[in-house]
Amino acid sequence: MPPAAGVWWTGDRVAGLILVAIAAIVVVETMALPLGTLSRPGPGYAPLICAVVLAALGILVTLRRGGAPVANLRWGEARHALLIFGAGAFAALALERIGFRLTTLAILVFLIGVVERKPPLPVAAVAVAISFGGYYLFWNVLRVPLPTGPFGI
Amino acid sequence: MIETLQNLALGFSVALAPNVLFYAVLGCVVGTLVGVLPGLGPLAGISLLLPLTFGLNPTTAIVLLAGIYYGAMYGGSTTSILMRIPGEAASVMTCVDGYAMTQKGRAGPALAIAALGSFVAGTLSVVALMLLAPPLATFALRFGPPEYTALLLLGLIVLAYMSSGSMPKTLAMATLGLVLGTIGIDAMSGFLRFTHGVTELGDGIGIVPVAVGLFGLSEILLTAGKDTPPQVYKPKLHELVPTGEDVRRSAAPTLRGSLLGFLIGIIPGSAHIISSFVSYGVEKRLAKRPEEFGHGAIEGVAGPESANNAAASGAFVPMLALGVPSGPIPAVMMAALMIHGVSPGPLLMEQQPALVWGFIASMYVGNLVLLILNLPMVGLFVNLLRVPYAYLYPCIVVFCVIGVYAVNSSVVDVWIMIVTGAVGYFLRKLDFDMAPVVLGLILSPMLELSLRQSLAMSAGRYDIFLQRPIAAIMLAIVVVLLALSVWPALKGGGDWRTRVGLDEKPG
C-alpha cells in the first residue's frame, strides 16, 4: 500500500535503512579479512559483494516509498511478544544449566499461568505433561539426547 | 521408459515395506495436524519435527518429512474452507470461495473437491516428477562450477521475479540470507568469518534454527494473545459427497491447476503460494460465470488446491535432479538428507536408487493415504482448533526449543532461533517475505564455492561464464528477467503480480 503524501516514515523506509545499517556493519567486519582480487577472491570477497548489493537494495527499498506508515502499525501483541521472547531467552540460558525438564516446566508455568492467567490445576497438568512427557518421548523413545539438570532431573 | 518403470517397481517395494509405510502414514497424520494449526506451516512443521528422524534411516526419514509436507498442505485447506483460517499461506486463496461455500451450507462438497483435486494433482505431478527428474539429473552431470554458478544466480533472480512480494524487497531478503550464509569457515581458505570466537558458528548458521525462528517463532510472536475460540463447523460424512455438477465443473480447473502448479513448483520461489494465486486468477478469467468467484465458485477451490499440491511435488525436481533447492522447504529436506549422510545432486539417482525411488513411490502412497484419511476424519482434525491458543502456543514454543536444540545439541542454535524469530517478527510486521532469507542462506556457500572454483578453473577470467553455452544461456535469462522486472517500473505500471492480484502497485 503506497503511503499517504507527506508520510516519510513508512515500513519500507525503516526496513530499508536497517538493511543499509546491516550492510555497513558487514563491510566494516569484512575489512578484517583478506579480500583477495577480482580474479583471485579471498575470504572477504563474497561477504563484501553481498554487503554492497544489500546496501544498494536497502537504498532502493527506502527510495520506493512503499509500505504502510509506521504510525499506522499496530503493536497490540507486542507485550505478549516481548514476554515470549523473554521466555525463549530464558530457555537458551537455562537449558544446559538446569536441564530440559525444569526449563520447559518453568517456561510453561510462566507463559500459561502468569502471562495467560489460566487456573493453576490445568497449568500444572499441561506443564508437567509436556515437560516430562516431551523428555520421555525424545530421550526414551526417539533416543534424542536432551540435557539433564541437578539431581538428574 | 522401461528403466523408469523398473525403478518405480523398486520404489514401491521400498515404500510398501511395513516400516516405511508406517512412517508415511505417520507423516501424513502429523502433517495434517500441523497444517490445521494456524501458525505452523509446512516449513516450521518439517523443521520442528526434523529431530524425530534422527533415529531413522535416510529413506524413512525423507518419507516421513515428505508426508508431513503433504499433510500440512492438506490440513491447511481444511481450516481455510471450514473456518476461513488459512493453516498455511498457500491456502489463502482457498479461503475465498471455500469459506463462501461453507456459509452456503456446502462445506462438504468444498472439502471433497479440495481433497480430490489435491489427490489428482499430487498423483499427476509425481508422474511428471518421475519422468522429468532422471533426464534432468543426467543433463546436470554436464554441469561444472560455472554452470552451477549461473544456475544458482538464475535461481535467486527467478525467486525474486516470481515471488509474491515486490522484487527489491525479495532480493534484499535473499541477499540478507546470502550474507548470513557467509558466516563460518571459508571453504577455500579455512578463514573463520564473523564468528567472534563462538566455536559453534564455525560450521555456519544452521537452516533449521533460522527456519524455525523466521517461520515458527515469529508467527507465535505475531499471533499470541488471540484467545477467541473459533467457530468450528463439522460436516457429516454423507454431506461430503459432491454433486455431478460439482465434479464436472472442477475437472478442468483441477487439470489446469496440476499443470500450472507443477511448472511453477520447479521454479525457485514460494512456489506453492504463487501457484495458488496464479491458478485462481486463471480460473476466474476462464470461468463462464466469473461473477460467482468470491461467492462460492467451486472452480475457485479446485484450481488453487490442485495447484499448490502439484507445486509441492514440482519443488522436488531440482532438489533430486540438481541438488539445488527451489525453495525453503526443499532446502530443509536437503539439510535433513545431509544430516543422514546423503548428498543430493545429479549422482543421487544413480548412487541411491532405493532412496530416491522409494521417496517418489511414497508420494503416491502418501496422496492416497491423505485422501482416505482426511475426508472421514476431518471433524477430528478440526477439533484441535478447540484447544485454547493460550495453552497451545506455549507448547509450540517448547517444541521450537526442543526441535532446534536437538539438531546439534547446541544452545547457540536456540539463540539463533530466538534472534531470527524476533527479526522475523519485525520484518513480517513490515510486510517482508521470509522465504528468500532461508533460500539465500542455503545457496550462499554453494554460490561462493562454485564462483571461486570457476575462477580457479579459468585463471581468474570471468569470460568462462560466456564461453560455456549452458552457463551463458542461464546468465542471458538472468539479464532478460532483470530487464522484465525493471521495465514495468520504468513505465510506471504494475507487473504480473498486479495482474494476478498478488501485489500492490509500486509506490
Contact A34 B394 (CB under 8 A): no
Instruction: For residue B227, name the pLDDT band (cuts at 50, 70, 90).
Output: low
pLDDT of residue B269: 57
Query: Across chain B, how many H-helices and E-strands are there?
Result: 24, 2
pLDDT, mean of each 10-residue run, chain A (153 residues): 65 91 95 90 93 94 80 84 95 94 96 94 95 87 82 78
pLDDT for B146 equals 93
Q: Residue B347 domain-assigned?
A: yes
- Whether residue B402 and residue A12 make contact (CB cut-off 8 A), yes or no, is no
Structure ipTM: 0.93
Evaluate whether B440 touches B178 at the Cβ level (below 8 Å): yes
N- to C-terminal Cα distance for chain A? 53
Average pLDDT over residues B137-165: 81
Interatomic CA distance for residues B378 and A41, integer angstroms: 56
Residue type, B15: A
Give the gap in angstroms from C-alpha A151 to the nearest C-alpha of chain B: 20
Give the CA dihedral B131, B137, B140, B142, nearest 10 degrees.
-110
Q: How close does chain B come to A34, measured CA to CA in Å?
A: 9
Res B39: pLDDT: 61
pLDDT > 70: what percent of chain B?
89
More confident residue, B173 or B77: B173
| B436, part of any domain | yes
Q: Residue A118 has what pLDDT? A: 94
CA distance B235 to B243: 16
Q: Is the pLDDT of residue B412 over 90?
A: yes
Q: Which amino acid is at A49?
A: I
Residues B172 and B434 sit within 8 Å (Cβ to Cβ):
no
- The total of structural domains in chain B comes to 1
> Which three three-digit cell numbers place residue B396?
509450540
B406/A38 touch (CB, cutoff 8 Å), yes or no: no
Contact between A54 and B172 using a beta-carbon 8 Å cutoff: yes
Q: For B37, which DSSP code?
A: S
Choose the mutation target among A116, A118, A136 for the interface with B, i.e. most B CBs under 10 Å. A116
Interface test with A, best of B171, B221, B392 (most A CBs within 10 A): B221
Mean pLDDT confidence for B35-58: 78
Are B425 and A81 a contacting pair at CB < 8 A? Answer: yes
- Domain assignment present for residue B33? The answer is yes
Residue B461 to residue A81, Cβ atoms within 8 A: no
Residue of B nearest to A1 (CA): B504
Is the minimum CB–CB distance between A37 and chain B shorter than 8 Å?
yes
DSSP per-residue letters across B84-151: S--SSGGGHHHHHHHHHHHHTT-HHHHHHHHHHHHHHHHHHHHHHHHHHHHHHHHHHTT--HHHHHHH
Indicate the pTM of the whole model: 0.82
User: Could you tell me which residues come within 8 angstroms of residue B181 by beta carbon, excluding any fewer than 6 positions away?
Assistant: B204, B205, B440, B441, B442, B443, B444, B445, B448
- Reference B305, options B256, B374, B263; nearest CA is B256
Nearest to A47 among B179, B431, B452 (CB): B179
Residues B179, A12: C-beta atoms closer than 8 Å: no
- pLDDT reported for residue B507: 33
The three cell numbers of residue B149 are 554458478
Sign for the pseudo-dihedral over CA of B149, B151, B155, B158: positive
For B417, which residue in chain A has the nearest alpha carbon?
A88
Residue B505 lies in a domain: no
Q: Which three cell numbers stand for residue B104?
A: 452456503
Find residue A140's DSSP bridge partners: none
Q: What is the mean pLDDT of residues B399-415?
A: 88
Which domain range does residue B308 map to? 2-500
Helix axes B435-457, B145-162, angle to 10 degrees: 150
Within-domain flag for B506: no
Measured between CA atoms, the residue of chain B closest to residue A17 is B172
Q: Which of B161-165, B290-294, B349-353, B423-427 has the lowest mean pLDDT?
A: B161-165
Name the band, by pLDDT with cuts 50, 70 and 90, for residue B178: very high
